């Protein structure tokens, strides 16, 4: 039998590796920024075009590379970070595998310009799909400039899986936030399509957070600091009253590297237990300093998932540290058992004895005696005769005939045909309704009865109404007497700008959108003024999770989110008119059987089903 196993060509192996390292433009941004940080840069510029699909450029003023190093850096597993396997457990740098540049060069057009401090000229390399097109001497500034153009140009299938420019830009912004927060000692600039998005000067950790998430973030932060033999924790947590439905402000940094750890997140969430609303998530920016030998960051190509040697100890320390900060800065409500100062004896009377008052009292004084009344000049009232009291009712006699009850006619209870007759799947004719367990609405029909889930039914009604308003753009808006100012981060404001037109279609009216938030002067009729903040946060949370691409899915998601947020919830008591109105509105919808989230809205129990239970 002929041999069938053979070695893959280098360019194919690099493309396979690129599938693990480079998932989207944001992956390229992460790798290039981390390389710039490892080069000991103090200023880093990030330039992207068309969501990173056309251009990603990172310019730094670091140590740069020689001509040989610049060429050799694009070889797979070529690295200056480690030399032996033991170095993997003593890492102090971002990259160490030597896969990033080789993987990027395999699926894009790459240009590198680099120069070290001791050389007068640098080198300029062009690579297309792992093939070196040219390498020549060039006059370039100190440091390194890497341009990545036409990402996935030779893998059309991967390029087709990329989302819209706005969605990819959002992922790039998230990666930029993570790197910039981990290194406040480095100045960062971010440009998108020629316009400046961020300009972050060198600052401390708190100022870097404020520069990224807005000035209003400053009043939300509570400092956290604890140092033990195992772990050192510093950073900030967000006050419980500012907890959001989205997970946009949860950051862990282990040895200045952003990590994702559901286990440690659970520890922080446990410290906030009882302080935040159900369904919301606490915000935190926590920096963990731990022995590199006790952490393994080599379990995933993206290096964001890590493994600790003793997770249980870290869990306990982190939870107690966050709880201590919440109590230390009076964030947790506490019972005060101290004595009230107003109830204490004044200082001047502390050592004095009590003495009897000098006031004399006449023990025989009785104000109700007749003599006392005359002396005081008061008037004595005497009871007059009650004769003639019956004259008060004179002229009120009415000679009306007795009521004949047999002549009373009652209104007929016959119900005429309704809209339910138009839909063969709908209940026949609704009669009286009642509510079961504050969750279901039960109404009788000709063939039995219908059990309706009140929350899902209301979601369906609101969903179709909002979708109709978005389509025809004729929603009714109620104007607010005083505009509401809502504060959001830069990333959240980008999302609001994307869906602003759709929000206007359902009734939201914005005065203006500035750098720290928005001013709302009009809201839909169904949204109360107190619910505006909650509705907007829910919208942003849903868009961050699902990130729709086209306008249709955007409108659909907006209608679903508003319907879910504003619908009647389980546990709410509905009166008779509200129940009947909901039943009528449900079966007037185009789709009556399913909620917007494809869950049944009602079930029908026929008379035969009931009779079978008694057999």
pLDDT tens figures, 168-184: 888 899 999 999 999 99
Cα–chain-centroid distance for residue 249?
A: 8
Which of 200, 217, 232 corresponds to the end of one domain?
200
Is-contact 236 222, C-beta < 8 A?
Answer: yes
- 573 or 362: which leads in pLDDT: 573
Same domain? For 211 and 183 the reply is no
Residue 438, domain extent: 433-604
In a domain, 411, yes or no: no
Report how many domains make up the chain: 3
pLDDT given for residue 2 in this prediction: 67
Place of tokens 């008037």: 379
Q: What is the pLDDT of residue 221?
A: 92
**Inside any domain, residue 238:** yes
CATH classification of the domain holding 549: 3.30.1370.100
What pLDDT score was predicted for residue 188? 96
Is residue 5, in this structure, part of any structural domain at all? no
Q: Does 610 fall in a domain?
A: no
Q: What is the pLDDT of residue 199?
A: 92
- In this predicted structure, the answer to whether residue 528 has a pLDDT above a threshold of 60 is yes
Q: CATH number of the domain that 249 lies in?
A: 3.30.230.10
d(CA 116, CA 121): 8
> Among 255, 309, 311, 312, which residue's Cα sits nearest to residue 286?
255
How many CB atoms neighbour CB 229 within 10 A? Answer: 6
Residue 275 shares a structural domain with residue 186: no
Average confidence (pLDDT) over 221-245? 90
Asked if residue 55 and residue 186 are part of one domain, the reply reads yes
Residue 208 confidence (pLDDT): 94
Within 193-345, strands assigned E span: 195-200, 221-227, 232-238, 250-254, 258-259, 284-289, 295-296, 307-308
Q: What is the pLDDT of residue 420?
A: 41
DSSP labels, 406-455: GG--PPP------GGGG-TTS-S----EEEETTTEEEEEETTEEEEEEHH
Q: Is residue 347 part of a domain?
A: no
- Alpha-carbon distance of 259 to 251, in angstroms, equals 8
Domain final residue pick, 200, 231, 252: 200
| Percent of the chain that is helix, strand, coil (3-state, to 5) | 35, 20, 40
Note the residue count of the chain.
Answer: 615
In a domain, 554, yes or no: yes
Mean pLDDT computed over every residue of the chain: 81
Among 300, 328, 356, the domain-final residue is 328
Q: What mean pLDDT comes out for the span 156-160?
A: 84
Q: List, for residues 474-486, the tens digit of each pLDDT value.
A: 777 888 888 888 8
Least confident of 116-130, 147-161, 343-357, 439-453: 343-357
Cβ-count burial 524-558 (b if 16+ within 10 Å, e if not) = bebbeeeebebbbbbbbbbbbeebbeeeeebbbbb
Query: What percent of the chain is modeled with pLDDT above 90?
Result: 28
In this predicted structure, the answer to whether residue 8 has a pLDDT above a threshold of 80 is no
Q: Are 245 and 538 in contact (CB under 8 A)?
A: yes
Q: Are residues 100 and 215 in the same domain?
A: no
**Which position has the higher pLDDT, 374 or 614?**
614
Tell me if 404 is assigned to some domain.
no
The residue behind tokens 């936030």 is 177
Q: Mark whether 535 and 578 lie in a shared domain.
A: yes
Partnered with residue 440 across adjacent β-strands are 436, 453
Q: Are residues 304 and 240 in the same domain?
A: yes
Same domain, 104 and 245: no
Please give the Cα distance from 74 to 10 (Å, whole number).
12
- End-to-end Cα, the chain, rounded Å: 72
Per-residue pLDDT, 537 = 81
Domain match, 575 and 550 both: yes
Both 119 and 226 in a single domain? Answer: no
Tell whether 320 and 453 lie within a shared domain.
Answer: no
Number of helices (H) and strands (E) in the chain: give both, helices first. Answer: 17, 22
Instruction: Give pairs for 452-455: CB < 8 Å, separation 24+.
Output: 452/582, 452/583, 452/586, 452/601, 452/602, 453/595, 453/600, 453/601, 453/602, 454/568, 454/570, 454/572, 454/574, 454/579, 454/582, 455/567, 455/568, 455/569, 455/570
- pLDDT surpassing 50 at residue 94: yes
Q: What is the CATH number of the domain that holds 83?
A: 3.30.565.10
Contact 112, 49 (CB under 8 A): no
* Residue (of 324, 320, 323, 242) closest to 283 by Cα position: 242
Q: Are residues 19 and 153 both part of a single domain?
A: yes
| pLDDT for the residue numbered 407 | 58
Question: Would residue 412 count as lying in a domain?
Answer: no
Coil, helix or strand at residue 65: coil
Same domain (yes/no): 272, 193: no
What per-residue confidence (pLDDT) applies to 475? 72
Q: Tens digits of per-residue pLDDT, 390-439? A: 666 666 665 656 656 555 555 554 444 343 443 444 454 445 788 888 89
Query: What average pLDDT does range 315-325 have in this prediction?
Result: 92
Angle formed by the axes of helices 532-546 and 490-498, nearest 10°: 90
Q: What is the mean pLDDT of residues 126-145?
A: 90
| Arithmetic mean of pLDDT, 581-603 | 91
Looking at residue 96, what is its pLDDT? 57
pLDDT, position 202: 94
């Amino acid at each position: 039998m002929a041999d069938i196993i053979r070695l893959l060509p280098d360019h194919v192996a690099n493309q396979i590796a690129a599938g693990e390292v480079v998932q989207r433009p944001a992956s390229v941004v992460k790798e290039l920024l981390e390389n710039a940080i490892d080069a000991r840069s103090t200023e880093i510029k990030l330039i992207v075009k068309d969501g990173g699909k056309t251009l990603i450029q990172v310019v730094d003023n670091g140590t740069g590379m020689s001509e040989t190093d610049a060429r050799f850096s694009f070889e797979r597993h070529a690295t200056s970070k480690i030399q032996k396997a033991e170095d993997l457990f003593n890492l102090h740098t971002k990259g160490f595998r030597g896969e990033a540049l080789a993987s990027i060069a395999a699926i894009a057009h790459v240009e590198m310009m680099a120069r070290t401090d001791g050389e007068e000229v640098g080198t300029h390399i062009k690579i297309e799909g792992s093939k070196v097109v040219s390498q020549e001497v060039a006059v370039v500034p100190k440091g390194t400039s890497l341009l990545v153009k036409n990402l996935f140009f030779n893998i059309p299938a991967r390029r087709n899986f990329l989302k819209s420019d706005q969605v990819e830009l959002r992922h790039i912004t998230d990666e930029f936030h993570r790197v910039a927060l981990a290194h406040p000692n480095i100045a960062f600039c971010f440009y998108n399509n020629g316009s400046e998005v961020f300009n972050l000067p060198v600052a401390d950790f708190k100022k870097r957070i404020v520069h990224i998430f807005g000035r209003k973030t400053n009043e939300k932060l509570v400092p956290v600091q604890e140092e033990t033999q195992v772990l050192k924790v510093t950073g900030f947590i967000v006050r419980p009253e500012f907890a959001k439905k989205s997970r946009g402000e949860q950051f862990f940094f282990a040895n200045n590297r952003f990590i994702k750890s559901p286990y440690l997140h659970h520890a922080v969430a446990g410290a906030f237990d009882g302080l935040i609303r159900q369904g919301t998530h606490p915000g935190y920016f926590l920096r963990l300093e731990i022995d590199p030998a006790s952490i393994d960051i080599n379990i995933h190509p993206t290096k964001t998932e890590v493994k600790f040697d003793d997770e249980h100890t870290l869990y306990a320390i982190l939870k107690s540290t966050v709880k201590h900060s919440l109590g230390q800065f009076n964030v947790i409500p506490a019972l005060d058992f101290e004595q009230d100062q107003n109830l204490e004896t004044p200082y001047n009377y502390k050592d004095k004895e009590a003495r009897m008052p000098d006031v004399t009292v006449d023990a025989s004084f009785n104000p109700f005696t007749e003599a006392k009344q005359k002396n005081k000049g008061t008037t004595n009232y005497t009871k007059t005769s009650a004769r003639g009291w019956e004259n008060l009712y004179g002229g009120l006699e009415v000679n009306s005939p007795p009521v004949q009850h047999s002549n009373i006619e009652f209104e007929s209870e016959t119900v005429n045909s309704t809209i339910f007759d138009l839909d063969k799947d709908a209940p026949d004719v609704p009669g009286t309704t009642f509510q079961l367990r504050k969750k279901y609405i039960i109404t009788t029909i000709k063939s039995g009865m219908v059990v309706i889930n009140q929350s899902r039914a209301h979601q369906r009604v609101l969903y179709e109404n909002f979708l109709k308003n978005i389509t025809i753009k004729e929603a009714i808006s109620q104007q607010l007497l005083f505009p509401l100012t809502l504060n959001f981060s830069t990333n959240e404001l980008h999302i609001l700008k994307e869906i602003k037109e759709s929000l206007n279609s359902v009734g939201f009216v914005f005065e203006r959108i500035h750098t720290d938030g928005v001013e709302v002067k009009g809201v839909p009729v169904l949204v109360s003024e107190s619910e505006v903040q909650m509705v907007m946060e829910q919208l942003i949370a849903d868009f961050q999770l699902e990130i729709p691409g086209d306008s249709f899915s955007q409108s659909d998601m907006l209608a679903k989110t508003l319907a879910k947020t504003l619908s009647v919830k389980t546990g709410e008591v509905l009166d008779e008119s509200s129940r009947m109105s909901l039943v009528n509105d449900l079966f007037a919808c185009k789709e009556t059987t399913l909620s917007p989230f494809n869950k049944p809205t009602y079930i029908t129990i026929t008379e035969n089903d009931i009779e079978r239970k008694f057999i």
